[in-house]
Amino acid sequence: MDEPSSPAVPYETRVRASFAAALRESGAYFEGRGAVYQTLTRLAERLDAAAIPYAVIGALAQSAHGYVRMTTDVDVVMTSAGLARFRAELVGRGYRPAFEGAARTFRDTETQVRVEIVETGAYPGDGRPKPVAFPDPATAAEVRDGIRVVPLPTLVALKLASGLSAEHRLKDIADVIEMIRALALPLALSDALDPSVAPEYARLWRVVHAARDAVDEPGPPPA
């Protein structure tokens, strides 16, 4: 299959166009380079220059915390005021709406990588009110390699709240399982989570360690 050559072709379309394209882009991603990281770095620099608070969420936040998972977009959380400033100051200057009428989905005009902005106070998963909501990046972010990302407990809580409330977001539960396994997260992390999701974290932690014990897989000692 021929790969789309137009620079305006969405990045994810280019990645999925052929096996060779997927290998090339995933290889670049796992080496910490390529279009997605380019987009992330440029976005962080522009938001910092404009003094617009943000925090990276999703797969790139997982990568920042040590569990690298391929993704084709950049997800960030902003306040409604920050989003309004992004639209006013940066759309048309390196970013464009991803489709007509898009209010929170944009594309980097150089890489065509999608940038998804989630507003502070929105609810993960099914979008319905729940104890866990997307945070204010001004008070819930830490800097890793010059990029502002949500802290690990916040990321875990968001993924659990998402996966528990929406069947189509079960991948978020799988992400937590993989982070527990790959990062040797402690059972005690549940103490830092909202009570609405802490029991599920503890259950998943025990599932991971029971599986390790069953196959004699090396892992950290029980907490």
CATH number, domain of 148, equals 3.30.460.40
Q: What is the pLDDT of residues 14-34, one digit of tens each?
A: 999 999 999 999 999 999 889
Residue 223 falls inside a structural domain: no
What is the tally of structural domains in the chain?
Answer: 1
**Under the phi-then-psi rule, with left for phi > 0, alpha for psi from -120 to 50, and beta for the rest, what region is 24?**
alpha
- Write out the residue range of the structural domain in which residue 41 sits: 11-215
Kindly state whether residue 220 falls inside one of the protein's structural domains. no
- Tell me, yes or no, whether 5 lies in a domain: no
pLDDT in tens, 65-97: 999 999 999 999 999 999 999 999 999 999 999
Q: Is residue 2 part of a domain?
A: no
Task: Note whether residue 1 is domain-resident.
Answer: no
Name residue 61's amino acid: A
